[in-house]
Amino acid sequence: MTRLLCCSVVWLLLGASMAADTLDTRSTFHCISIYWTRPEAGTCRVEYRARGETAWSRAQDLWYDSDGRTSRPAPRLPSLPANDHWFDPDGGRRVTNQYRGSLVNLRPGTAYEIKLTTADATRTLPAATWSEDFRIKKVIRVDSQETFVTTEGGNEAEGFVVYDGAGQAVIDAQDRHPHCVIVRHGHVIIRGFRLINARHDAVVIGDVRAKQMLAHHRLQGVVAIGGDITDVVVENCDISQWGSLRVPELSRHWGGTEAGILVGSVVQRVVVQRNRIHRPRYTSTRWNEQPGVPHPWGPRGISLGHVSDREPWEANHVVRYNEILGHPGHLLEDGICGGLNFSYTGSPGQDSDLYGNLITHATDDLIEADGGGMNVRIWGNYIADGFKFLSLQCLPLGPIYVFRNVFGPSSDAVIGRRAASPMKFLSNERGSNGWSFSHHTPFNGPVYFYHNSLLTGDREVAFETTPGGHLRHLISRNNLYRTKAHFLRDAIPGGDAAAGDDCDFIGCSFDYDLHNRNSAGDSVAAGLGRHRIEAEPQWSPGHGALQGTIGRFQLAAEAPGRNAGMALPNFNLGGREADGAPDVGAHEFGSPEMVFGLAARWSVP
């Protein structure tokens, strides 16, 4: 969205051949993705500085992907029709021989210089983060009505057209209209509305092409196309009471695809910020509650979806400072989600950020970020009451960064079925349902899991493998894990690789973490580092596991884990660590209270 906000894409053609040596960056408010396509030459060191500064700061080295997309054909699932786009083995693009990674914790609206250094080359390039001050072309005041569709948009040169409800306008679809708001133009801001009683989705960005209520094991969802729509902001809206009430529309799945905000599959650079999305008109099923449909089906909070690997990958979305709230009688299926799960696109899409959100009460995933995973960043969220807090299935591209999130409690009454582990980071190469995606969406990773806090101890383990699955390429540093039975667990020690049951932690590394339980399984030990700390967390006065949205999760001054973390360039909190190494967990000692949802603002040291 720096086309939206300032200049976001920098293309530099270096060397004798574009294909041999190409640099690309894509920005958001606080992050810059870096892509350097060239032959590997060892470690790629990253340094950066704001324009005008003299000193360089270190960032994490880039990861090198030597084979980001398999060339082997994918088997087609026999239950899917020939025209189904669940995956597209011949589509997409081959991403190989590329250094990739992200700068994080940057200042919005700031020009930077980036220096990349390998054993045989050094490149310096400019990039800029998005400004939070949107250029406004025109403001259109919208009064209360049943539904509205945008009539014009802005452009990069002149700025945004704002459709403003001024915090007073109510768009009440009265169950007569499928949507409250349809956005059909780019460079548009939807601001300050109360949106209620949409028959399907409250806000749709892109043109709805088809409504497909498909059987279990089929492509799910409202399929939307976006045309050339880019640069859309939805902010300061209160969204509730969306979704089907009519039994024929609900089908046997009780809905299952309707969202408070639905972003079309080829729409790019959407910012969803400071919205309250809550109380859909019906509740999601729980696991195994609906006969013949074991998976939950119900309303979603925000859906960012693709329907084919042939679509653009460069979603470049930001979802921040929202409150996405189910309710015991109005449960969400997913908080933030999308598709395709087993694909090279996935949700939220390449170069996207999810941060500062408060997300609760989902019968499946509170954040579903399956598929793709290329330079996706998830941080600073408070997530509670869900089956899985975070799903990262089948990340064939990577890398993805998950840092400084707080994972709270979950109630059996909400999710109906207790998940042993709160996170789902599986390759699903041969899952319990018999599907085989091993030739189409392998789990390349890597997942960088830094400074997170799993607090409540009501889950058996932090991470486990399951029959036919692997946990691959997870790098865990400076996290606090409080569990009931084990820290890590290999569910089937000594699994039979020939039968697809080699359930191992493959290429994983766990170190500088605090956990209150030991681990079990024959594949676990190889990934455990010598700096891990086994202890119960000890909290500062007024802080602790159950402080929730109050945001107080600091360890006591002399507790295990204080000043015991690893220095992680660009991820630690800077000056507050002058007295030693960083703390483990999401909340650094002596820092302000963590804030989530509408009042949140990510501050950069």
User: Mapping DSSP to helix (H, G, I), strand (E, B) and coil, where does residue 247 land?
Assistant: helix
Is residue 378 within 8 A of residue 104, CB to CB? The reply is no
How far is 457 from 485, CA to CA, in rounded Å?
Answer: 9
Span 273-280, average pLDDT: 97
Average pLDDT of the chain to the nearest whole number: 82
pLDDT at 248 over 60: no
pLDDT at 193 (0 to 100): 98
Specify the range with the lowest mean pLDDT, choosing from 174-183, 195-204, 259-268: 259-268
Q: How confident is the model at residue 219 (pLDDT cuts 50, 70, 90)?
A: very low
593 secondary structure, DSSP code: P
How far is 327 from 503, CA to CA, in rounded Å?
Answer: 36
Specify the range with the lowest mean pLDDT, choosing from 252-256, 314-318, 482-486, 539-543: 252-256
User: Mapping DSSP to helix (H, G, I), strand (E, B) and coil, where does residue 577 land?
Assistant: helix
3-state helix, strand, coil in the chain (%, to 5): 5, 35, 60
- Highest-confidence segment of 142-151, 365-374, 499-508: 142-151
| pTM (predicted TM-score) | 0.90
pLDDT at 577 over 60: no
Tens digits of residue pLDDT in 136-185: 999 999 999 999 999 999 999 999 999 999 999 999 999 999 999 999 99
Contacts of 343 (CB under 8 A, 6+ apart): 86, 87, 88, 306, 309, 371, 372, 394, 441
**Nearest one of 355, 324, 298, 332 to 239, comparing CA atoms:** 324
> Could you tell me what percent of the chain has a pLDDT over 70?
76
User: Mapping DSSP to helix (H, G, I), strand (E, B) and coil, where does residue 250 land?
Assistant: helix
Q: How confident is the model at residue 210 (pLDDT cuts 50, 70, 90)?
A: very low
Per-residue b or e along 356-390, where b marks 16 or more CB atoms closer than 10 Å to that residue's CB = bbbbbbbbbbbbbbbbbbbbbbbbbbbbbbbbbbb
327 secondary structure, DSSP code: B
Q: How confident is the model at residue 416 (pLDDT cuts 50, 70, 90)?
A: low
E strands, 369-485, are 376-379, 382-391, 400-403, 406-407, 423-424, 447-450, 453-454, 463-465, 471-472, 474-477, 480-481
pLDDT at 112 (0 to 100): 98
Which of 507 and 316 is assigned the larger pLDDT?
A: 316
How far is 297 from 119, CA to CA, in rounded Å?
Answer: 51
Contacts of 340 (CB under 8 A, 6+ apart): 85, 86, 87, 219, 305, 306, 307, 308, 309, 346, 370, 371
Contacts of 113-116 with CB under 8 Å at 24 or more apart are 113/48, 113/49, 113/50, 113/51, 114/25, 114/32, 114/34, 114/46, 114/47, 114/48, 115/46, 115/47, 115/48, 115/56, 116/23, 116/34, 116/36, 116/44, 116/45, 116/46, 116/62
Span 550-574, average pLDDT: 92
Q: At 332, list the tokens.
A: 């969400």
pLDDT at 255 (0 to 100): 52
How far is 373 from 348, CA to CA, in rounded Å?
Answer: 8
Which of 409 and 261 is assigned the larger pLDDT?
A: 261
pLDDT at 490 (0 to 100): 83
pLDDT at 522 (0 to 100): 79
Radius of gyration of the chain (CA): 23
pLDDT at 273 (0 to 100): 98
Partners of residue 376 on adjacent β-strands: 400
Tens digits of residue pLDDT in 62-99: 999 886 443 333 333 333 333 333 334 444 455 678 99
pLDDT at 240 over 90: yes
101 secondary structure, DSSP code: E
pLDDT at 223 over 80: no
Q: At 63, list the tokens.
A: 């990861």
pLDDT at 343 over 90: no
Q: How confident is the model at residue 212 (pLDDT cuts 50, 70, 90)?
A: very low
